[in-house]
Structure 1
Amino acid sequence: MFHTATNEKIGNHLADLIKQSKYKSDRQFGIAYFKQRYHFDPSPEEIQKTQNRICQIKKGNKGIQIEDLPIFSELLQVSIEDILSAGAVLAPISNRTTNYSIACSKDPSEWKAYLQREDKPVLNPDEFNKTIIDYALEVGNYSFLKYLMDSHYIWFVGNDPGEYYIGFGAGTSIERREIGFTDILDITLKESDDLRFKMITLAIKNNDFDVLDQLHARELPMLYTLGCMYAFHPRSDELPSSQNIDNMIQCIASSSKGTLNYFFENFEITPSRPRQESSSFIFPYSGAVLDIMIRQKNRNVSYILEKVITYNKSILKKLLQLTNNSIKNLTAFYESANGSFYSNSHYIHEAWKNYYFYPQTGFVAYTTPVYLKPYHGFITNVVHVTAKSSDSEIQFLIDELNETYDTFNQYFNKKENPQDV
């Protein structure tokens, strides 16, 4: 048992350790730290940023993060206890194999041996409350994660579409021990769809479209709960959000044209609820990706804007075709039953009665009047952006896109006044 020292004392001790180490300078230590954590060479900007952070830690202005400790311990050849106690506790460096060490390993034989251990350390978080999956995702050990997936040790998306609405049915094939042990990896995977977003980001960086397909990378669990009937409409004004989602969005915005094409293609979802038809959607974070592309003056932004404009217009065309057909069918239905008792405004009102638009998330839903046969309906989503461009051609496309989006909102606002539609 030991007491953690203050940030200032830890910083002073860290300064001494770096000075006594083979790295000698913050810059050299920062480069070694970056390579150990991310497994690629840092850019000059990343070197400077890392060096500045180490300098702030040494001054006591910032504390060491949990994910830093195993790396600092290995690079400086001291124990974590030594670092946190500012040298007061000189515990020996542990040579034991850990979740972190295996997550950093490039040796398949080490992976296999660790996964087959009888005490099942792979199934539980360590003293820092992190599993081997957490560490592998953090350090970007894509080959290890691919090994786990290809060998069916873990999966981020299961085989049962009936589970997709709660997190894609993620799980592990590594058997738990007898009752009495914790072994929570399977529960962790099932309850944390956020881990899937980390894996999606790694798959994008590795240009691995097969894995993106396995991960259902464009999809959200909530899409499997949606249907065109009002009872199955979205119940939240916000999409899921997290730092991992933000990182994924940023990664997509900076990706290749091929990857952008992948994420901006619409896709089919068969909902988990019975008697619900398949629906077509576009990546729910498309607008957020485009906002970043516009601000960064991405060379592919015009191409993607044109693609999304075409998509929005196709949804608008589908909506208008259904409502116009409903008006015609309603007119024929009522006139055959009651002569010309109702006015045309009544038919328009009835035709638009089951139209809904959710502007915060972009979902659009419509169903034809239930007494008209055959019955038709759909739910989907459309895209808008908030960023602006100094490039007049880009801004023209932005305006055109947002005009299509605003049209959906205008129709919804006029629903109670169908004569204006």
Structure 2
Amino acid sequence: MNNVKNNQQIGKYLEKLISENFESRRKFCIKVLDVQFNAKPSEEQIANYSNKISQIIKGRKGIQIADLPIYANLLNVSCDEILSCGEKYIPIKNHMTNYQLAFSTDKKVWEKYINVEDSISLNYDEYGKSLIDYAFQFKNYDLVKYLISIDYINITPEKYFSDNVNKGALWVAETSVKQNNKNYVYNPYVYERQTERNLRTNLIILAIKNKDYKMIERLHAREIPELYGMDYTCPIPYGDIIKNYQSYQTETSCIDELIETIANSDENMIDYFSSEFNVQSKHNRTNTVMCPYLDKIVEKMLLLNIREVELPIRRITQHNKKMYEKLVKLLDEAHISMCKFGGVEPTQKEYRKICKDIVIDKNYNLIAFIMKRKKEF
């Protein structure tokens, strides 16, 4: 190359690169010696090499040919860039990408490339993937937890689940990642935006595989937003409820992986996801429910011939029996109340009228009363 600078210029540029990539010259020297000898250097070796680097930086010595590629690799630049003092750039294999960063298990590497302004990790790469996408692909749960700890991935605070105004309107998991310089904020009722919903589901999958029950609870892994809007009567048109359930269960691209992950998990995890739990709806009603896609989990377990399937089947049967008895009781109460209100005797005919207000959808395990409003003339 014909744009090689003199020793003084190269030394000054080398000093700049070292200060940008290492906490001190000493640490740079230790790393160089470690690469050269593949062993921890002695204090004497470090002192001698520190003196050598000092002479190079001052321009009194040039960089030896054998050392140049080592410097380039450690400083994340090309040999040409060092010799031209930044005037000549060529592509280098060790340039950090979202792919490489997500593969790393070194917290220092994460901190170096993530906690900087306009970090590569804040953008999608040429393949349309983010650091988070690759972290999930490589199952790098430690990195994912680190991203959560620095609010790179934001999980909805628990306080919102006790706030009736926000229940079902705010849901877990959004990210700072940008695509085409647009920030995507998650709203579970805008179903064409899949990014943040898939983010939450992927978080749950990794938490299950790592048996992180604390994270599973934090993510409300057994729930979907519609559970917070449920009441004895449909608060919104029944068709919209079905549409929302359908959207959440079928359009979330990683829901099948979630179901298979749960089906293949240990007894404790099966016990957790097959247990009844209470949800206090935005209407101040405490409802006892089960995981909305537990039926699909059972189907997968049967298909895989997993013997632990007996537990969720037994619990589903018990739950359905209790819900049936509760439904019969509600129908009886509604029958008596409606007849009393209308001034008529309770009859089978009146009972059938009540039953006509019930909608049952087997595909999405929903039973609800339809609220009928009187026509205004």
Structure 2 length normalisation: TM-score? 0.62
Rounded Cα–Cα distance in structure 2 between residues aligned with 1:222 and 1:194: 17
2:205 maps to 1:201: yes
Residue 229 of structure 2 contacts residue 235 of structure 2 at CA under 8 Å; is this kept in 1? no
2:216 maps to 1:212: yes
Superposed displacement of residue 230, structure 1:
3.0
Q: Report the counterpart of residue 171 of structure 2 in structure 1.
A: 168
The equivalences for 1:266-305 within 5 A come to 266-271=276-281, 275=283, 277-305=285-313
What's the CA shift string for 1:309-352, capped at 9, x where partnerless? Answer: 10111111110111122233344444xxx4xx446124313443
Residue 176 of structure 2 contacts residue 183 of structure 2 at CA under 8 Å; is this kept in 1? no
Rounded Cα–Cα distance in structure 2 between residues aligned with 1:345 and 1:116: 70
Change (3 A) 1:208 1:151: same
SS of equivalent residue, structure 2 residue 350: helix
Q: Which residues of structure 1 form unaligned runs of 5+?
A: 1-90, 372-421
Change (3 A) 1:165 1:333: closer
Superposed displacement of residue 169, structure 1:
4.8
Residue 124 of structure 1 contacts residue 183 of structure 1 at CA under 8 Å; is this kept in 2? no
Superposed displacement of residue 186, structure 1:
5.5
Rounded Cα–Cα distance in structure 2 between residues aligned with 1:169 and 1:190: 13
2:355 maps to 1:355: no
Change (3 A) 1:206 1:120: same
Residue 175 of structure 2 contacts residue 196 of structure 2 at CA under 8 Å; is this kept in 1? no
Rounded Cα–Cα distance in structure 1 between residues aligned with 2:336 and 2:346: 13
The equivalences for 1:95-110 within 5 A come to 95-110=94-109
What's the CA shift string for 1:354-384, capped at 9, x where partnerless? Answer: 322111111112489999xxxxxxxxxxxxx
2:263 maps to 1:264: no
Give the CA RMSD over aligned residues: 3.3
Residue 102 of structure 2 contacts residue 132 of structure 2 at CA under 8 Å; is this kept in 1? yes
Superposed displacement of residue 170, structure 1:
2.5
Q: Report the counterpart of residue 325 of structure 2 in structure 1.
A: 317
Residue 105 of structure 2 contacts residue 143 of structure 2 at CA under 8 Å; is this kept in 1? yes
Question: Match for 1:235 among 238, 242, 265?
Answer: 242
Residue 259 of structure 2 contacts residue 297 of structure 2 at CA under 8 Å; is this kept in 1? yes
Rounded Cα–Cα distance in structure 2 between residues aligned with 1:219 and 1:327: 32
SS of equivalent residue, structure 1 residue 140: coil
Residue 168 of structure 2 contacts residue 229 of structure 2 at CA under 8 Å; is this kept in 1? yes
Superposed displacement of residue 206, structure 1:
0.7
Structure 1 length normalisation: TM-score? 0.56
Question: Match for 1:192 among 193, 196, 199?
Answer: 196
Aligned residue pairs total: 269
Instruction: Mark the structure with the bigger radius of gyration.
Output: 2
Change (3 A) 1:125 1:368: closer
Residue 171 of structure 2 contacts residue 186 of structure 2 at CA under 8 Å; is this kept in 1? no
Superposed displacement of residue 270, structure 1:
4.1
Rounded Cα–Cα distance in structure 2 between residues aligned with 1:231 and 1:248: 29
Quote the sequence identity (%). Answer: 26
Residue 167 of structure 1 contacts residue 192 of structure 1 at CA under 8 Å; is this kept in 2? no
Rounded Cα–Cα distance in structure 1 between residues aligned with 2:95 and 2:303: 47
Rounded Cα–Cα distance in structure 2 between residues aligned with 1:109 and 1:183: 28
Q: Which residues of structure 2 form unaligned runs of 5+?
A: 1-89, 188-192
